[in-house]
Chains A and B, each alone.
Chain A
Amino acid sequence: MHGNTPITGLKPKDYKTGIKPVWCPGCGDFSVLSAVTKALAHLALPHQNVAMISGIGCSSRLPAYTSVYGFHGVHGRALALASGLKAARPDLTVLVAGGDGDGFSIGGNHFLHACRRNMDMTYIVMDNEVYGMTKGQASPTTAPDWTQSKLTPHGPGVPQFIPAAIALVSGATFIARGFTGNPNGLTKLLVEAIEHPGFSFVQALSPCPTYRPEHKAWKKQVRPVEEEATSDPIIAAQRIQTDDGMSTGVLYQTTVPVWQPEQGISADTGQLEEVFFV
């Protein structure tokens, strides 16, 4: 977050566009929308100073539903788009939204380097362990023995991607996990993530009622992390690797210099027209 002058009196609803979400009733992504708008209202960020960038997937529809600047990009490229935007407009609060397939499979390489680069932005991954928009195929976070997709009738058979562990070894400076069944707790994590100077990663466990109805059990499985957030990557690694992925809270936070490319020489529109035919 940057030196935006807060606008007091804004309510979460003021950050919604009024476009009707197409998510299935009961989808956890509704709670992420609620948490994002509550976080923006709590921080009283002016709409014009915030941008929401996404890739492709159910969760990537978030820019359409939030009344800040938005860019619904191409599959897996949300972080690349957001990095470009942040490089050009470091004054903006940049939020990036997507799902586990978009972020960890198609966009997996961008995820690694966004963590490593540590630009000041917040990446929210709505993890439902499935490709929902394309009718329920296994994603990188799907358990190896999940057999409910016709494409993987015997289960994916390969170990799950552990987002928090990958973020940690890739250099992310803020790593948190939330649950959409606790939207106010998720709001707190998002506020902390946005206020964190550097790349903040929030994995939001977001049940898919259509393709993963068994996710209803998550409500009984999630629990707050028992320890305070650590800034020691070795301790964080141990906690993340020994956890079942259901602990929620800030898992790791440290402060290192934020990477922000130097502004190049800007061109005026006349110069651009010489290069690009409009």
Chain B
Amino acid sequence: MTAIPNLIIETLPEFLLHAITLERESVERYEELGDSMEVHNNPQIAAVFRKLARYGELHANEIEQHATGLELPRIPPWDFKWTTPESPETGDMEQLHYLMTQGQALIFALHNETQGRDFYAHVAATSTNQEVRELAAEFAEEETDHMNWLNAWIRNLADPDSVSPEDLDPPNVTE
């Protein structure tokens, strides 16, 4: 993997701050999406995002345990070494729609996990710190497990490729 200049993480505290932020922002985003789908009367997809938030919370707690006793640096949001505009598992908001289906929601989540895996893989391949490389590789494997779990969930859907149903009362009808 090619190292991206200025995006190389060298110390364990810096890496753990990135990992914790990645996981926490992912949980917050799923919670926000759960709220949003509830507000827009799409309870089935709200439940999907709530479930993803719960799993993300468990993972975030695990990663935070690695930082026990360490003093983490303070990094402004814009100076994080992401390869994406936001932390990798917050998703592309443009892909969202209030009528999105379960298949679309899970593909959104799969994209997030893939970006998370790619971030950890990049750190594992480019850091000069052995401890960081090993932990990043471990986290990349965990993200791969999440991707496999999501892929299995998608395969088990009755209609994974379903498109959003037609809105019989669309918002952009005026008068």
Known: A13-B28, A211-B172. A25 touches B37 (CB 8 A): yes
- The answer to whether A25 and B33 touch across the interface, beta carbons within 8 angstroms, is yes
- The answer to whether A183 and B39 touch across the interface, beta carbons within 8 angstroms, is no
Q: Does A154 contact B (CB under 8 A)?
A: no
Q: Which of A95-103, A184-192, A227-235 sits within the interface?
A: A184-192
Residues of B within 8 A of A135 (CB): 171-174
Chain B, 13-58, CB within 8 A of any chain A CB: 28, 32-33, 35-40
Q: Quote the shortest CB–CB distance from B111 to chain A (angstroms).
A: 14
Q: Does B70 contact A (CB under 8 A)?
A: no
Residue among A22, A137, A184 with max Cβ neighbours from chain B (10 Å)? A184
- The answer to whether A181 and B85 touch across the interface, beta carbons within 8 angstroms, is yes
- The answer to whether B85 and A182 touch across the interface, beta carbons within 8 angstroms, is yes
Residues of A within 8 A of B82 (CB): 184
**Complex Cα gap A26–B97 (Å):** 6
**Complex Cα gap A132–B78 (Å):** 29
Chain A, 167-217, CB within 8 A of any chain B CB: 181-185, 187-188, 191, 207, 209-211, 216
**Complex Cα gap A148–B170 (Å):** 14
- The answer to whether A219 and B171 touch across the interface, beta carbons within 8 angstroms, is no
Q: Quote the shortest CB–CB distance from B87 to chain A (angstroms).
A: 9
Q: Quote the shortest CB–CB distance from A1 to chain B (angstroms).
A: 16
- The answer to whether A26 and B85 touch across the interface, beta carbons within 8 angstroms, is no
- The answer to whether A30 and B85 touch across the interface, beta carbons within 8 angstroms, is no
**Complex Cα gap A151–B172 (Å):** 12
One digit per residue, 1 when the CB lies within 8 angstroms of any chain A CB and 0 when it does not, for chain B 59-81 equals: 00000000000000000111010
Q: Quote the shortest CB–CB distance from A197 to chain B (angstroms).
A: 20
Q: Does B10 contact A (CB under 8 A)?
A: no
How many interface residues does B have (CB within 8 Å)? Answer: 28
- The answer to whether B35 and A187 touch across the interface, beta carbons within 8 angstroms, is no
One digit per residue, 1 when the CB lies within 8 angstroms of any chain A CB and 0 when it does not, for chain B 76-96 equals: 111010100110000001111
Q: Which residue of A lies closest to B75 (CB)?
A: A42
Q: Quote the shortest CB–CB distance from B172 to chain A (angstroms).
A: 5
- The answer to whether B174 and A207 touch across the interface, beta carbons within 8 angstroms, is no
Known: A26-B97, A38-B77, A219-B94. A150 touches B175 (CB 8 A): yes
Residues of A within 8 A of B150 (CB): none
Q: Quote the shortest CB–CB distance from A139 to chain B (angstroms).
A: 14
Q: Quote the shortest CB–CB distance from B163 to chain A (angstroms).
A: 15
Contact of A184 among B37, B86, B96 (CB under 8 A): B86
- 20 interchain pairs (CB within 8 A)? A13-B28, A20-B36, A21-B36, A23-B36, A24-B98, A25-B33, A25-B93, A25-B100, A26-B94, A26-B96, A38-B77, A42-B76, A136-B172, A137-B174, A148-B172, A181-B93, A183-B77, A184-B78, A210-B171, A210-B172
Chain A positions near chain B (C-beta within 8 angstroms): 13, 20-28, 30-31, 38, 42, 135-137, 148-151, 181-185, 187-188, 191, 207, 209-211, 216, 219
